[in-house]
Amino acid sequence: DTGVSQDPRHKITKRGQNVTFRCDPISEHNRLYWYRQTLGQGPEFLTYFQNEAQLEKSRLLSDRFSAERPKGSFSTLEIQRTEQGDSAMYLCASSARTGGGWETQYFGPGTRLLVL
């Protein structure tokens, strides 16, 4: 078990370009979460998947954002027509949902995006 991994770790892009980030969760985890963290703030929930199904999306996730988890394993987060306000750390987390209650989320190292 190597933990949650994210790629790339850093991305610099020009305004208007599209970017895609990848997250590989812990292998036996069926839930995968995306968060955004801006400077001086805690992470904010964007969306989550249970297996390949996207079950919830935050209102923070504008139409320019799309996330997929096609085979219930890795996930991608794409931002189209990036804006300077998209500059942030994008964090991925995974957990093993086994029934009712709550489960612990384990975080990856994040992808830091800078939009010029």
Partner 1 sequence: AQSVTQPDIHITVSEGASLELRCNYSYGATPYLFWYVQSPGQGLQLLLKYFSGDTLVQGIKGFEAEFKRSQSSFNLRKPSVHWSDAAEYFCAVGANNDMRFGAGTRLTVKP
| One character per residue 21-60, x = contact with partner 1 (rule: CB under 8 A) | ------------x------xxxxxx--x------xx-x--
Cα separation values, 89 from 27, 42, 83, 92, Å: 23, 10, 14, 10
Residue 88 C-beta: closest distance to partner 1, Å = 13
105 lies in the binding site for partner 1 (CB under 8 A): yes
Q: Which of 79, 97, 76, 63 is nearest to 34 (CA)?
A: 76
Q: Are strands 111-115 and 88-95 parallel, antiparallel or unpaired?
A: antiparallel
Residue 63 C-beta: closest distance to partner 1, Å = 20
99 lies in the binding site for partner 1 (CB under 8 A): no
Fill in the DSSP letter of residue 114: E
Check if the beta carbon of residue 94 is closer than 8 Å to that of residue 31: yes
65 lies in the binding site for partner 1 (CB under 8 A): no
Q: Which of 90, 95, 82 is nearest to 8 (CA)?
A: 90
Residue 116 C-beta: closest distance to partner 1, Å = 19
Residue 81 C-beta: closest distance to partner 1, Å = 26
Interface with partner 1 (CB under 8 A) = 4, 6, 33, 40-45, 48, 55-56, 58, 91, 93, 101-102, 104-110, 112
